[in-house]
Structure 1
């Protein structure tokens, strides 16, 4: 099954039919506010995601490394803190280690520049992504984008 990711005005708008919505002033605030029916909640005065719907997210103290997502624990590499697993879903990275290429059984394909995920592939035929896999995918893409934006700000 192939799943398309849709963008408009540079923002991710849809993951296989599940809308990603933003605030009324998206030209000022490019932070997603909902994934389908699930509202996204952030820590006060921060862009750190604290919940997706009723699923809470905890982080290591004084860092942006997630410890748990609801009932799932997160695993990180020993050095550098790269996220390696979210619950049952192992992450695979490209050879440079800066782009997630797979979340569990879900392969991620990027545009020619390699900066924007545009298509997903899941073996087998199905109607849509499971809620669990959609949640894990969204979080991985969200945190990856935040990391890339932070790196760009640090270079400038």
Structure 2
């Protein structure tokens, strides 16, 4: 099964048939507000994601490294530079470590410049993405994008 990741005006708008929506003034605030029918809640005055559809996300103190997503624990590399596991799903990265290549059984493909994930492939005959895999894929892409944006700001 191939899951298309769609974009408009530079923002992720869909994962397969699931819409990613933004606030009414998205040109000022590019923070997603919902994944399908799941509301996304953030820490006050921040873009740190606090919960997805009531599933609480906790972070390491004084950092943006997630520790848990509901019942799932998160595992990071030794210095916290990349996530290695999100709950039951191992993550693999490209050689540079900047791009996530797999989330559990999902294989992520990028555009020809390597800057935007455009497709996820799920081997087998599944008709749709399970809610757990959808959540894991969204969170992985969301945190990866935040990391890239932070790197760009620090290089400027």
Aligned residue runs from structure 1 range 4-153, under 5 A: 4-153=4-153
- Residue correspondences, number: 156
Larger mean Cα displacement after TM superposition, 40-49 or 120-129 = 120-129
Q: TM-score, normalised by structure 2?
A: 0.98
Q: TM-score, normalised by structure 1?
A: 0.98
- Which structure 2 residue ranges, 5 or more long, are not aligned? none
Contact 2:65-2:80 at 8 Å conserved across structures:
no
Partner Cα separation in structure 2 for residue 6 and residue 146 of structure 1: 18
Q: Secondary structure at the match of 2:3?
A: strand
In the TM superposition, residue 78 of structure 1 has moved relative to its aligned partner by 1.3
Q: Secondary structure at the match of 1:57?
A: strand
- Which structure 1 residue ranges, 5 or more long, are not aligned? none
Runs of 4+ in 1 over 3 A off after TM superposition: none
Query: Superposition RMSD on alpha carbons, in Å?
Result: 0.7
Contact 2:23-2:32 at 8 Å conserved across structures:
yes
